[in-house]
């Protein structure tokens, strides 16, 4: 590959990261707020208390502003697999396309249809029909998250497929293996609880601001109560599902785990780095420079989390490249070089198969197919050059992971404290806690972004784990074109984000009483 | 017996139907392109924006689903067209990005750019979104400049690993240089504006706007008809991309699409029925001042007409996404579809569609019991 196309690949990668990152600012708030609104409206319908209705409608207003920009940033993603990753789209489209289509058919229509009733239906449908619509918006958004995470999980843990050398692509052979893979449901739960967490911290923070300003105290307390419960559940479940995700990563993407922990030399009974500073002098994976300047480690915890065994061997970056250690299934790990040879064999066998079929040499073709199948598990390694190509960006992955965990722990403590103060009825006059609530809003968004950085930077160089590296996934579009669209995206999304933020701030400053009246006189 | 071939055709039918629904729902874009001409006063504009703003998400969602469903059913189209006609799609998508925020943001304090800019976004989406989609669909008949080599990924190609390669550096914008493509582009733009006018006649409780909309039905209906007829007659008489059912070799065939209509008489019958319904909706509304149901005829007619037109592009041994520079790279239902397993799984999912249509009808009905007038903007609790 020439330099130009490598640059194009990196721009395509950057552009995808940019759009996905922007989209993920708004999605968690959409899902989290939808849940909180649905709970509030349920209380209103049950109690008939108009104040809960007013509270619900205020958050609905905020939801609407956020929902619009979430949709705006999302449409690009549906098409970007094709625009940026055309090879990928054919090579695995037979599997990857299905969850995307199902997301559209089952989730998006549900969301789009009932969101219009939620917005405009206060006077046009019954109370219960309106409440059902709000819950269906939450359901639609959650289902959408499910299907897109099924797709994402499949890239990290390809399963339920078989390579077809005639069509030159992977084809689905087991729908349920793809849909219900352990990586998929762990990712789904982890991502959805992160949405609850972000929504809750946002509502808690805005409520904290009202309390600080001594405005709408009753509304603020109502809101922060629901937010704290949702937030606590969200963050605790994040810890639980995070553990599940880490276990899956250890099994399926050991290099990602090594990068998350900055672990270069594997060991038995490996400890988990609770806090650490990486050594910038570490340039090569095998240069014997200590990867840390400082670290605080919890003994044996990494082995326990990764393999459910205090003394299990956790391979480091160097082990994964050089091989030779015993895998959990008892076999010996292959080195990068060995896998590269097998990958090249598989690629060559595919080329030979294609030529043999073209010439009608079916017996030859069958031989090549056998070689291809024997080596297919290493297919992607054939495109890589050196062992170092296998290593994701360690500092980004390491710091993102650790910062995310620290923020998560902080929020568990924060919501516990808030719930205690609410229980003691001291929330409305505890100013320091109101400040903490307000200033914690960006932290939850940050943690949520960091989670995706760990997942996506940590799995480089693979688009499909072991099967397809990013370089081979890209479209044949030159760097110049992609840079132009990258700049366009950056300008448009940033402009819209600023507009969204200022609109939201204005709306929050106006407060819940500014809303026009709406009652159920229509029914 | 459900064969692989049946599944491919079934999915082509689903894609065609989605295409038909999408073109019908472009009435939202058509309306957006008329905010400055149909409405003269600010309150009229606001009413139009709100009438459209209650429907825009359907169009948007249909477009997104169209993309996802194409990916799942014909991934080689997804990879070739989106990765190749890069700029045509990117510009189209940008228009929709701008649309998505414009309803919600335009009248909110603190929106930075001011309502005029958001309405300009809506206008842009209204004009370019419809026009470009028409141009892109026209390339299903006129062809594009790309090559496909599935062996490229194993190093068998001469220029890298990429399977689908667009050979024109304009990446899709070159399709604007083809007069026939432009005809369909303009036809879709004017159709969307016609449908929007019919929708306003049906939905609004506002005498002035209703009267003006009736005139706009004709002002836009006639150019639509002209552009559409030119495209249609030209396409029926032009060469088309035929696939030999045995050897799978693609070749140019005189009047291929006309032959397709003749050889699939039921498609022709529905096509004519669709066109008649569109014309009935247009002319009855324009000349009968009390007739308000034109959108139902023209809307349903649009869905049927577009669906049939797309069936003609893909069925009866036709390459639906032809390559004009390398005939054998052309995409056919057979060489570009998903596997039999995936198409079967997706077909099961497609059984949900009637259920989805049912709840959309419920929601649409629930919100449309009352016509939309100025009073509802304030009493509904959410307005743009």
Last residue of a domain, one of A328, A359, A387: A387
Q: What confidence score (pLDDT) does residue B110 get?
A: 87
Using pLDDT thresholds of 50, 70 and 90, give the confidence band for residue B220. Answer: very high
Our CA-based measurement puts residue B57 at a distance from the nearest CA of chain A, in whole angstroms, of: 6
Q: What is the DSSP secondary-structure string of A425-461?
A: T-GGG-HHHHHHHHHTHHHHHHHHHHHHHHHHHTTTT
Residue whose C-alpha is closest to residue A32's, from A181, A306, A226: A226
Q: CB distance from A15 to chain B under 8 Å?
A: no
Domain around A352: 338-387
| Residue A375 domain flag | yes
The CA-atom distances, in angstroms, between A503 and each of A195, A320, A357, A439 are 22, 50, 62, 19
Domain around B312: 4-379
Share above pLDDT 70 across residues of chain B, in percent, rounded to a whole number:
99
The CA-atom distances, in angstroms, between B40 and each of B50, B107, B213, B289 are 16, 18, 12, 21
| Residue A7 domain flag | no
Task: Name every chain A residue with its beta carbon within 8 A of the beta carbon of B78.
Answer: 81-82, 89, 93, 97
Using pLDDT thresholds of 50, 70 and 90, give the confidence band for residue A4. Answer: very low
Q: Is B31 exposed, middle or buried (0-12, 13-18, 19+ CB in 10 A)?
A: buried
Tokens standing for residue A240: 């639980």
- Chain B residue with Cα closest to A173: B341
Binary contact (B380, A103; C-beta < 8 A) = no
- Write the pLDDT tens digit of every residue in A288-305: 899 999 999 999 999 999
Domain count for chain B: 1
d(CA A304, CA A310): 5
d(CA A386, CA A267): 24
Binary contact (B360, A5; C-beta < 8 A) = no
Q: What confidence score (pLDDT) does residue A522 get?
A: 31
Q: CB distance from B146 to chain A under 8 Å?
A: no
Using pLDDT thresholds of 50, 70 and 90, give the confidence band for residue B357. Answer: confident
Q: What confidence score (pLDDT) does residue A78 get?
A: 87
Tell me the average pLDDT across A172-181: 94
Q: What confidence score (pLDDT) does residue A288 get?
A: 86
d(CA B316, CA B336): 16
Task: Name every chain B residue with its beta carbon within 8 A of the beta carbon of A5.
Answer: 160
Helices B42-53 + B179-203 axis angle, to 10: 100
Instruction: Say yes or no to pLDDT of A261 above 70.
Output: yes
Q: Name which of B73, B342, B370 to mutate to probe chain A: the one with the most chain A Cβ atoms within 10 A of its Cβ.
A: B342
Please say whether the beta carbons of A440 and A414 come within 8 A.
yes
Our CA-based measurement puts residue B348 at a distance from the nearest CA of chain A, in whole angstroms, of: 11
Share above pLDDT 90 across residues of chain A, in percent, rounded to a whole number:
88
Look-up of token digits 């395509």: A12
| Residue B208 domain flag | yes
Please say whether the beta carbons of B179 and B129 come within 8 A.
no
The CA-atom distances, in angstroms, between A166 and each of A356, A376, B370 are 11, 15, 57
Residue A316 phi, psi dihedral angles, 5° rounding:
-95, 180
Q: CB distance from B351 to chain A under 8 Å?
A: no
Last residue of a domain, one of A387, A404, A420: A387
| Residue A368 domain flag | yes
| Residue B26 domain flag | yes
| Residue B384 domain flag | no
Domain count for chain A: 2
The residue ranges of DSSP E strands in A255-311, in sequence order, are 267-268, 272-278, 292-298
Q: What confidence score (pLDDT) does residue A242 get?
A: 93
| Residue A302 domain flag | yes
d(CA A122, CA A424): 36
Tell me the average pLDDT across B356-376: 81
Q: Which residues contact A352 (CB under 8 A, 6 or more apart)?
A: A364, A368
| Residue A504 domain flag | no
Q: Which residues contact B341 (CB under 8 A, 6 or more apart)?
A: A171, A172, A173, A175
Share above pLDDT 90 across residues of chain B, in percent, rounded to a whole number:
82
- Write the pLDDT tens digit of every residue in A114-145: 999 999 888 888 999 999 999 999 999 999 99
Residue whose C-alpha is closest to residue B227's, from B193, B278, B270, B188: B188
Angle at B94 between CA B91 and CA B100, to 5 degrees: 150
The 3-state DSSP class for residue B154 equals helix
Q: Which residues contact A125 (CB under 8 A, 6 or more apart)?
A: A117, A133, A522, A523, B366
What letter does residue A313 receive in the DSSP assignment?
E
Instruction: Say yes or no to pLDDT of A501 above 80.
Output: yes
Q: Which residues contact A449 (CB under 8 A, 6 or more apart)?
A: A21, A24, A25
Q: What confidence score (pLDDT) does residue A516 get?
A: 52
- Write the pLDDT tens digit of every residue in B174-202: 999 999 999 999 999 999 999 999 999 99
Q: Is the peptide bond before B147 cis (omega within 30 degrees of 0)?
A: no
Q: Is B80 exposed, middle or buried (0-12, 13-18, 19+ CB in 10 A)?
A: buried
Q: Which residues contact B351 (CB under 8 A, 6 or more apart)?
A: none
Report the mean per-residue pLDDT for chain A.
92
Q: What confidence score (pLDDT) does residue A520 get?
A: 37
Tell me the average pLDDT across B285-297: 93
Tell me the average pLDDT across A163-181: 95
Look-up of token digits 């140019």: B252
Our CA-based measurement puts residue B200 at a distance from the nearest CA of chain A, in whole angstroms, of: 18
Using pLDDT thresholds of 50, 70 and 90, give the confidence band for residue B353. Answer: confident
Q: What confidence score (pLDDT) does residue A285 get?
A: 92
- Write the pLDDT tens digit of every residue in A339-369: 999 999 999 999 999 999 999 999 999 999 9
d(CA B209, CA A100): 41
- Write the pLDDT tens digit of every residue in B224-276: 999 999 999 999 999 999 999 999 999 999 999 999 999 999 999 999 999 99
Tokens standing for residue B356: 């989805």
Please say whether the beta carbons of A73 and A461 come within 8 A.
no
| Residue A494 domain flag | no
Q: CB distance from B248 to chain A under 8 Å?
A: no
Please say whether the beta carbons of A437 and A418 come within 8 A.
yes
More confident residue, B29 or A516: B29
Angle at A82 between CA B188 and CA A168, to 5 degrees: 125
Beta bridge partners of A469: A462
Binary contact (A168, B111; C-beta < 8 A) = no
| Residue B132 domain flag | yes
C-alpha B214, offset from chain centre: 24
Q: What confidence score (pLDDT) does residue B191 get?
A: 98
- Write the pLDDT tens digit of every residue in B116-130: 999 999 999 999 999
Binary contact (B381, A90; C-beta < 8 A) = no
Tokens standing for residue B212: 């003006």
Tell me the average pLDDT across A457-464: 94
Tokens standing for residue B9: 């055709």
Task: Name every chain B residue with its beta carbon within 8 A of the beta carbon of A510.
Answer: 109
Instruction: Say yes or no to pLDDT of B215 above 50.
Output: yes
Beta bridge partners of A268: A313
Please say whether the beta carbons of B38 and B207 come within 8 A.
no
Tokens standing for residue A398: 């390491």
Instruction: Say yes or no to pLDDT of A3 above 60.
Output: no
Instruction: Say yes or no to pLDDT of A517 above 60.
Output: no
Between positions 310 and 349 of A, the ones with CB within 8 A of B are: 347-348
Residue whose C-alpha is closest to residue A434's, from A220, A190, A161: A220
Between positions 323 and 342 of B, the ones with CB within 8 A of A are: 338-339, 341-342
Please say whether the beta carbons of B308 and B300 come within 8 A.
no
- Looking at the structure, do residues A310 and A343 belong to the same domain, yes or no? no
Share above pLDDT 70 across residues of chain A, in percent, rounded to a whole number:
97
Q: CB distance from B366 to chain A under 8 Å?
A: yes
The H-or-E segment that residue A51 falls in is helix A50-84
Residue whose C-alpha is closest to residue B34's, from B246, B170, B297, B216: B216
Instruction: Say yes or no to pLDDT of A514 above 80.
Output: no
Between positions 40 and 99 of B, the ones with CB within 8 A of A are: 54, 57-58, 60-61, 63-65, 67-69, 71-73, 75-76, 78-84, 86-87, 89-90, 93-94, 96-99
- ipTM here: 0.90
Task: Name every chain A residue with its beta carbon within 8 A of the beta carbon of B103.
Answer: 68
The H-or-E segment that residue A96 falls in is helix A93-102
What letter does residue B236 receive in the DSSP assignment?
H
The residue ranges of DSSP E strands in A150-197, in sequence order, are 161-164, 169-172
């Amino acid at each position: 590959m020439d330099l130009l196309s490598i640059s194009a690949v990196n721009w395509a990668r950057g552009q995808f990261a940019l759009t996905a990152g922007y989209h993920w600012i708004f999605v968690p708030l959409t899902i989290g707020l939808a849940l909180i609104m649905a709970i509030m409206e349920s209380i209103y319908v049950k109690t008939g208390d108009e104040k809960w209705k007013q509270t619900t409608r205020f958050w609905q207003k905020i939801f609407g502003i956020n929902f619009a920009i979430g949709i705006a940033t999302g449409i690009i993603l549906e098409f970007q697999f094709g625009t940026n990753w055309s090879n990928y789209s054919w090579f695995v489209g037979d599997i990857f396309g299905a969850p995307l289509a199902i997301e559209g058919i089952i989730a998006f229509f549900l969301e789009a249809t009932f969101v219009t009733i939620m917005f405009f239906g206060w006077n046009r449908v019954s109370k219960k029909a309106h409440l059902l619509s709000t819950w269906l918006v939450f359901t639609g958004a959650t289902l959408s998250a499910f299907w897109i995470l099924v797709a994402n999980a499949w890239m990290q843990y390809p399963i339920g497929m078989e390579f077809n050398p005639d069509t030159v692509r992977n084809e689905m052979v087991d729908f349920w293996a793809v849909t219900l893979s352990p990586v998929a449901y762990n990712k789904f739960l982890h991502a959805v609880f992160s949405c609850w967490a972000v929504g809750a911290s946002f509502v808690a923070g805005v409520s904290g601001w009202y309390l600080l300003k001594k405005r709408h105290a009753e509304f603020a307390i109502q809101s922060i109560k629901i937010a704290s419960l949702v937030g606590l559940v969200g963050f605790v479940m994040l810890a639980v599902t995070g553990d599940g995700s880490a276990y899956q990563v250890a099994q399926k993407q050991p290099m990602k785990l090594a990068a998350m922990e900055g672990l270069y030399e594997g060991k038995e009974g490996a400890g988990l780095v609770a806090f650490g500073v990486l050594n910038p002098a570490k340039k090569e994976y095998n240069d014997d420079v200590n990867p840390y300047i400082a670290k605080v480690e919890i003994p044996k915890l990494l082995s326990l989390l990764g393999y459910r065994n205090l003394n299990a061997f956790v391979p480091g970056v160097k082990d994964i490249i050089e091989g030779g250690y015993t895998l959990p299934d008892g076999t010996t790990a292959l080195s990068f070089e060995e896998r590269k040879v097998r990958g090249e064999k598989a690629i060559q066998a595919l080329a030979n198969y294609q030529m043999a079929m073209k010439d009608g040499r079916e017996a030859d073709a069958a031989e090549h197919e056998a070689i291809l199948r024997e080596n297919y598990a290493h297919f992607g390694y054939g495109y890589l050059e050196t062992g170092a190509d296998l290593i994701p960006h360690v500092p980004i992955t390491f710091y993102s992971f650790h910062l995310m965990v620290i923020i998560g722990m902080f929020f568990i403590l924060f919501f516990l404290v808030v719930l205690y103060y609410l229980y003691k009825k001291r929330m409305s006059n505890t100013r320091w806690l109101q400040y903490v609530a307000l200033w914690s809003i960006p932290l939850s968004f940050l943690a949520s972004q960091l989670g995706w950085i760990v997942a996506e930077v940590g799995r480089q160089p693979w688009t499909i784990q072991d099967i397809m590296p990013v370089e081979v996934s890209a479209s044949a579009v030159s760097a110049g074109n992609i840079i132009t669209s990258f700049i366009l995206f950056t300008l448009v999304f940033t402009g819209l984000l600023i507009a969204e933020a200022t609109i939201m701030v204005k709306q929050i400053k106006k407060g819940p009483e500014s809303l026009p009246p709406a009652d159920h006189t229509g029914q | 017996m459900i064969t692989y071939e049946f599944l491919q055709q079934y999915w082509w039918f689903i894609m065609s139907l989605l295409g038909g629904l999408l073109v019908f729902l472009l009435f939202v874009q058509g309306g957006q392109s008329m905010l400055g001409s149909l409405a003269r006063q600010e309150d009229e504009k606001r009413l139009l924006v709100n009438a459209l703003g209650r429907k825009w998400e359907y169009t948007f969602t249909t477009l997104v689903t169209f993309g996802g469903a194409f990916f799942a059913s014909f991934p080689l189209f997804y990879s070739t067209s989106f990765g190749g006609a890069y700029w045509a799609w990117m510009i189209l998508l940008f228009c929709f990005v701008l649309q998505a925020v414009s309803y919600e943001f335009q009248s909110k304090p603190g929106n930075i750019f001011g309502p005029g800019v958001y309405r300009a976004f809506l206008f842009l989406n209204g004009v370019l979104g419809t026009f470009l989609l028409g141009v892109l669909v026209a390339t299903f008949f006129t062809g594009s400049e790309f090559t496909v080599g599935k062996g490229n990924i194993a190093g068998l190609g001469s220029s890298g690993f990429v399977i689908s390669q667009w050979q024109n550096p304009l990446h899709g914008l070159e399709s604007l240089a083809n007069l026939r493509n432009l005809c369909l582009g303009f036809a879709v733009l004017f159709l969307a504006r016609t449908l929007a006018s019919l929708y306003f006649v049906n939905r609004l409780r506002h005498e002035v706007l209703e009267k003006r909309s009736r005139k706009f039905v004709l002002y836009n209906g006639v150019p639509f008809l002209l552009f559409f007829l030119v495209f249609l007659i030209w396409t029926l008489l032009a060469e088309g991309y035929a696939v030999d059912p045995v050897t799978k070799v693609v070749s140019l065939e005189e009047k291929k699409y006309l032959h397709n209509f003749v050889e699939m008489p039921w498609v022709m019958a529905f096509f004519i029925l669709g066109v008649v319904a569109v014309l009935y909706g247009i002319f009855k509304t324009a000349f009968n001042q009390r007739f308000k149901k034109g959108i139902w005829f023209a809307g349903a007619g649009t869905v049927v007409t577009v669906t049939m037109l797309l069936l003609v592009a893909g069925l009866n041994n036709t390459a639906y996404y032809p390559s004009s520079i390398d005939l054998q790279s052309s995409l056919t239902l057979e060489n570009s579809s998903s596997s039999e397993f995936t198409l079967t799984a997706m077909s099961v999912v497609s059984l949900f569609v009637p259920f989805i249509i049912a709840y959309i009808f419920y929601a649409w009905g629930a919100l449309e019991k009352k016509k939309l007038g100025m009073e509802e903007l304030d009493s509904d609790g959410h307005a743009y």
